[in-house]
Chain A
Amino acid sequence: MAGVRILVGTRKGAFIITSDGTRRDWKVDGPHFGGWEIMHLKGSPVDPERIYASQWTDWHGQVVQRSDDGGKSWEAVGNNFAYVGNPGTHQWYDGTPHPWDFKRVWHFEPSPDDVDTVFAGVEDAALFRSRDGGASWTELPALRTNSRGNDWMPGAGGMCLHTILINPANPRRMYVAISAAGAFRTDDGGETWHVATRGLSSNFLPEPEADIGHCVHCLAMHPTRPDTVFMQKHWDVMRTDSAGEMWNEVSGNLPSDFGFPIAVHAHEPETVYVVPILSDSEHYPPDGKLRVYRSRTGGNEWEALTKGLPQSDCYVNILRDAMSVDSLDSCGIYFGTTGGQVYASVDSGDSWQAIAEHLPAVLSVEAQTIP
């Protein structure tokens, strides 16, 4: 019987939560790498037993871990992320130039067609690729040089490349998102890039519709609709149907259009999920009620999903990489909170249950469907 493996990165280690295809009973395994921040874990679409984990602390910097047995054992692989050439400076919070400096890996995106190829989105923002299972890493520098990297500035969490979407039918088409720079697209596997922010408006910018400087929090795409991408921006939920050539706002009736993660249903390309957060200065749900909002119309019309979620006195946050879907027949949705809960819905969001509680603050959640 098929099963589900939920890869959870937290402030103090990694946890792997598993169930069989019924998704009734869950087993929590961990912590792996106890005491380290695990920014993200993700499995290969080619071989789900191959998992990459980003392990990090201020003391010891970046470590990359790789598992070839579904997370039972791990091997530290390459952790040398060297920018190509002299990357110069980007803007600091106060607008002054600041030297580019590698800090950590925010996101791994394994290739859809090669088990040993994996992309890493890093802080300070850049895209790296490994073709040897993580042993060595090479920057794709055109992202910085084609897209005015020296005008980028950090968001509150740092200047991070946090989202990488790859079109599975044409892996040379990729989107990435950077806080606070914007969204970018390549059609040639990362050799050249262009800014994909037309239609975005951010009131904190001197020019709200400038091409660079938008604080994009997360992107999501259904694999069968690679020209349609959904975006949770700092404020505003957006969509494009032209591969990022133009974005339109689809926030509609959301109680707040500020938030971090966004996800698309595994089988319904127009069904989208967000978790509204009160504001950019109050990172918790409106009214103390943890509500996932679902749109079955590709945005604009949203319904609150509350069954099984706390509806009073809840002041957790859900970070940008902490929501994911499985691909079983009845789509499962999973998200983790800064309060250490991991919630699961096995009915497309109609109802929820906590499958882990009291974990360290959750940084990332990735669902794997195991054949």
Chain B
Amino acid sequence: MTKVRVALPVHLRTLARVDGDVEVPVGGDPTVDELLDALESAYPTLAGTIREHGSGKRRAYMRFFACGRDLSQLDQSTQLPEEVVSGAETFYVIGAIAGG
């Protein structure tokens, strides 16, 4: 079991009642979906706010970044980068630039 550091957008930090980045325990070689499963397990109010209920797909206005790369379009069954699993890098959940 390791801990992955996740940065959340401000509205989700408020919803989860956390002040900054969160650390989420995951096992083995976790995928994007497994990280998000663990995140929602630790913070149940986030269910449905990053991925759709039912389909589990990333919501249209949400983006994922890590290690300077955009991971948004990767299949969510893709394994996380080693640097994220090791704790050297943060997994960023970011709201797309839109709205007013």
Is A bound to B? yes
Establish whether residues B54 and A59, one from each chain, have CB atoms under 8 Å apart when the complex forms.
no
Which A residues touch B50, using CB under 8 A? 60
Which B residues touch A80, using CB under 8 A? 47-48, 53-54
Q: Which residue of B lies closest to A80 (CB)?
A: B53
**Of the residues B45, B59, B98, contact of A61 by C-beta under 8 Å:** B59
Closest-CB distance, B63 to chain A (whole angstroms): 10
Other than the given A60-B59, A61-B52, A63-B45, 15 more pairs (CB < 8 A) read: A57-B99, A58-B60, A58-B61, A58-B98, A60-B12, A60-B15, A60-B95, A61-B49, A61-B59, A79-B48, A79-B49, A79-B53, A80-B47, A82-B53, A82-B54
Query: B51-66 vs A: 1/0 string, CB under 8 Å?
Result: 0111000011110000
A240 at the interface (CB under 8 A from B): no
B1-40 interface with A by 8 A CB criterion: 9-12, 15
Closest-CB distance, A87 to chain B (whole angstroms): 12
Establish whether residues A76 and B15, one from each chain, have CB atoms under 8 Å apart when the complex forms.
yes
A80 to B49, CA, bound (A): 10
B74 at the interface (CB under 8 A from A): no
A42-75 interface with B by 8 A CB criterion: 57-63
**Of the residues A59, A63, A79, A82, contact of B95 by C-beta under 8 Å:** A59
A36 at the interface (CB under 8 A from B): yes
Query: A75-103 vs B: 1/0 string, CB under 8 Å?
Result: 01001111000000000000000000000
Interface size on B, residues (CB 8 A): 21
- The A interface, classified by DSSP as helix, strand, loop or mixed, is loop
B88 at the interface (CB under 8 A from A): no
**Of the residues B11, B47, B60, contact of A79 by C-beta under 8 Å:** B47
Which B residues touch A36, using CB under 8 A? 11
**Of the residues A59, A62, A63, contact of B9 by C-beta under 8 Å:** A59
**Given A35-B11, A36-B11, A59-B96 contact (CB < 8 Å):** yes
A60 to B60, CA, bound (A): 9
Which B residues touch A61, using CB under 8 A? 48-49, 52, 59
Interface size on A, residues (CB 8 A): 14
Establish whether residues B99 and A58, one from each chain, have CB atoms under 8 Å apart when the complex forms.
yes
Which B residues touch A62, using CB under 8 A? 48
A80 to B53, CA, bound (A): 6
A60 to B59, CA, bound (A): 7
Which A residues touch B45, using CB under 8 A? 63, 76
Please name 26 pairs of A and B residues whose Cβ atoms are closer than 8 Å in the assembled complex, sorted by A.
Answer: A35-B10, A35-B11, A36-B11, A57-B11, A57-B99, A58-B98, A59-B11, A59-B62, A59-B95, A59-B96, A59-B98, A60-B15, A60-B50, A60-B62, A60-B95, A61-B48, A61-B49, A61-B52, A61-B59, A62-B48, A63-B15, A63-B48, A79-B48, A79-B49, A79-B53, A80-B54
Closest-CB distance, B38 to chain A (whole angstroms): 19
B60-100 interface with A by 8 A CB criterion: 60-62, 95-96, 98-99
A82 to B62, CA, bound (A): 21
Which A residues touch B62, using CB under 8 A? 59-60
Which B residues touch A59, using CB under 8 A? 9, 11, 59, 61-62, 95-96, 98-99
Closest-CB distance, B58 to chain A (whole angstroms): 11
Q: Which residue of B lies closest to A33 (CB)?
A: B14
Closest-CB distance, A120 to chain B (whole angstroms): 14
Closest-CB distance, B12 to chain A (whole angstroms): 7
Q: Which residue of A lies closest to B49 (CB)?
A: A60
A3-50 interface with B by 8 A CB criterion: 35-36
Which B residues touch A35, using CB under 8 A? 10-11
A330 to B31, CA, bound (A): 62
Q: Which residue of B lies closest to A57 (CB)?
A: B11
* Central interface residue in B9, B11, B59, B99, by most chain A CB within 10 Å: B11
Closest-CB distance, A92 to chain B (whole angstroms): 18
A266 to B47, CA, bound (A): 40
A63 to B10, CA, bound (A): 15
